[in-house]
Amino acid sequence: MAYPTVPCPLHVFEPRYRLMIRRSIQTGTKQFGMCVSDTQNSFADYGCMLQIRNVHFLPDGRSVVDTVGGKRFRVLKRGMKDGYCTADIEYLEDVKVEDEDEIKNLRELHDLVYSQACSWFQNLRDRFRSQILQHFGSMPEREENLQATPNGPAWCWWLLAVLPVDPRYQLSVLSMKSLKERLTKIQHILTYFSRDQSK
């Protein structure tokens, strides 16, 4: 599962994906979509664009691709090209909250869930915490303007990437266009895991 702003290193070895990576670099877009697999439709209805930051080509044709999550999208139409899946997509953006009271409530919920997330992370065993830091880096700082980007605060995506939850649950959160709903789902996950930590 890929998320906005979250690093996603890939080891590319299948010829069809090597071709896809090469094409995305040659065309200059330096991006491609990533969806989790789906038994009915081959891949899920929602995904995230990945921006290629660097590619290290190995002598045997494999490559290590350094990517970071970009825009979220919804799949409109599925296709196939030279063995890899393609899709027509539409980008997703969070619906902006305009009402002052709603903004105030959103800020309070945000700050509460952010504190809960920090507490959960600090209470992890040292080994797990250091593995997460090594793979994903530090949790992003709290942002002043919650609605400054189309995907909401970066820390939410970082947290979803590191929480051990079912991919279907992660996918439901990825597809949400409401920051309030996303924060509420994250709060439920954190409450569940925090209970386990205290046992």
198 has pLDDT over 70: no
Report the percentage of the chain scoring pLDDT > 70. Answer: 98
Task: Give the pLDDT mean for 125-144.
Answer: 92
Q: Contact, 138 vs 54, CB < 8 A?
A: no
Task: For the domain covering 6-91, report its CATH number.
Answer: 2.30.130.40
pLDDT above 70 for 196? no
According to DSSP, the residues that pair with 55 across neighbouring strands are 65
Could you tell me where the DSSP H helices lie in 37-178?
100-122, 126-136, 154-162, 167-174
- Per DSSP bridges, beta strands 31-34 and 46-57 are antiparallel
- Tell me how crowded residue 68 is: count the other CB atoms within 10 A of its CB: 19
At 118-129, the pLDDT tens digits run 999 999 999 999
What confidence tens digit (pLDDT) does each residue in 168-183 have? 899 999 999 999 999 9
Domain extents for the chain? 6-91, 100-197
For the record, the structure tokens of 9 come out as 């290193």
Tell me how far apart the alpha carbons of residues 172 and 181 are, in angstroms, rounded to a whole number: 11
Give the tens place of pLDDT for each residue, 61-76: 899 999 999 999 999 9
pTM: 0.90
**Mapping DSSP to helix (H, G, I), strand (E, B) and coil, where does residue 66 land?**
strand
pLDDT for position 197: 58
